Amino acid sequence: MPNNDFVNGTLISDAGNTFASASTIPGNSNSSIAGSVGGTDPYDCYKFVATDSGTASFMLYGLSQDTNVYLFGSSQNFLNGSNDSGLSAEYFSYSSITAGNTYYIIVEPTGVSDYKLSVILPAGASTTPDLVVSSINASASVAQGSDLTFSYVAKNQGSGTTDTHYAVINVDQQASESNFIAYNGVAALSAGATQTLTNSISTAGLSVGQHTLYIKEDGYYNYVTESDETNNVRSVTFNVTSAAATTQVLWGVRDVAIPGLGAGANHHFLVILPSNPSDPDLISHGFISSDLDGDGDLDGFTIGADLDGWYTLGVYKRKEEDIAAIKGENRSIFGDSWNYESHPVPTPETLTTDAFVDRILNAYISYETYQASASFSTEIQFFLAPWIDGYTGNCASWVNTTLQVAGLSSAQTDAISDFTGADWGADHEINLVAYAPLGDISFIA
């Protein structure tokens, strides 16, 4: 059954299948053809008599099966063509069109396929658009994980006016209708007109190093017939740099290492992950980082408070059980797992994260200093149930109070203090006398 084909919007029923039956298209202007071919319709053949000499270009696109296109001369001799595999557009040009001669265009399918055919003849080239990306403005470098934001200028440097169309964008590969990660709609452009467009792409999946940003004007199925279909792409390189390390604070818990309590009773502590774990100011005060994730690099350290001496609540750095829990190491005496959990600690709105960590560490040192005083043993008493009269606090209440001394509200600490298991004392506050006066040592801020 014949397929319906259209030339410049006019139904011609079906293009011919042979040179002799080829359907005639204008020889003095450009043509836009839409049709289907294949099955019982083995070829679509078109012919034109050129009115001007010069270069003609031909583009076959919008394919549903691999389809090829060829140009033959008046003696039915082969002149040029395109037979790339796949569904990508087929494009070629022929520079020796001679006025008065007859030429044949043959569309040859490998299966049943829809297609669009753009024919640009020397007589029509002077009124045909030509779309380019005239410039791209993008940062030379961007931190890994951040968005690369850029702008570019779409320009019609031809003589005709375009319809609305699309520009497509890709990274490290040419952009096309089937291979793009972002796009922009481009308005109709008159001859010489431009439009500035903006877009952004994520660098989260890109490796550190140099990459190439490709932008292709009229890249989505070549909606616009152009005098030159080979100059739509512009590219620019940019570098992805390592993301800047940031300081983090975590409220961590693990199983209590006491026979008879085991899983279900939590020990609370703080995990400090500084942006520079080897900062000499941290090391000089005994805040020495460990490799907490097993990658060979230093990550951070833990601080906390626990039973110290005779029912007093003393502070510590880098407790072995804390680090083992973070690493996911199995317990050797009290159970099979430490059941480590953590919650991110928010930074007070008035502080940077580094300044917040400075205040936490100053609170630790103030407490440590008070711990050495004669009144410590009577003021700061330890008990698992600190709300009972006569006792001051435990590991959870120490974390809660220290974070509040450093700048968080009780509502903020309450929001992050609930873990799997028993969190006794997490909503309790110990005597603030242990933190006075709060120091002002600058560690990382």
382 vs 194, more confident: 194
CATH 2.60.40.10 corresponds to the domain 131-241:
yes
**pLDDT greater than 60 at residue 239:** yes
Give one word for 54, left, alpha or beta, with left for phi > 0 and alpha for psi -120 to 50. Answer: left
Instruction: Assign 170 a pLDDT band (cuts: 50, 70, 90).
Output: very high
Mean pLDDT over each residue of the chain, to the nearest integer: 89
pLDDT at 263: 53
Cβ atoms of 263 and 255 closer than 8 Å = yes
3-state secondary structure of 196: strand
| Whole-number Å distance between alpha carbons of 90 and 82 | 6
Number of H helices, E strands in the chain: 6, 24
Q: What is the sign of the dihedral through the CA atoms of 94, 100, 101 and 102?
A: positive
Question: Facing residues of 148 across strands?
Answer: 201
Note whether 6-124 and 131-241 share their fold: no
Its CATH architecture, for the domain 6-124, is Sandwich (2.60)
Mean pLDDT of 335-358: 90
**Maximum Cα–Cα distance across the chain:** 113
CA distances from 17 to 23, 107, 250, 365, 402 (A): 9, 9, 74, 91, 86
Q: Report pLDDT digits (tens) over 383-433.
A: 666 666 555 788 999 999 999 999 999 999 999 999 988 888 888 888 888
DSSP annotation string for 205-258: TSPSEEEEEEEETT-STT-S--S-SS--EEEEEEEEEPPPP--EEEEEEEE--S
Give one word for 407, left, alpha or beta, with left for phi > 0 and alpha for psi -120 to 50. Answer: left
Q: Report pLDDT digits (tens) over 39-87.
A: 999 999 999 999 888 889 999 999 999 999 999 999 999 999 999 999 9
pLDDT at 1: 43
Domain-by-domain residue ranges, the chain? 6-124, 131-241, 248-435
DSSP annotation string for 7-44: ETTEE-SS-BSSSTTPEE--SSS-EEEEEEEBTTB--E
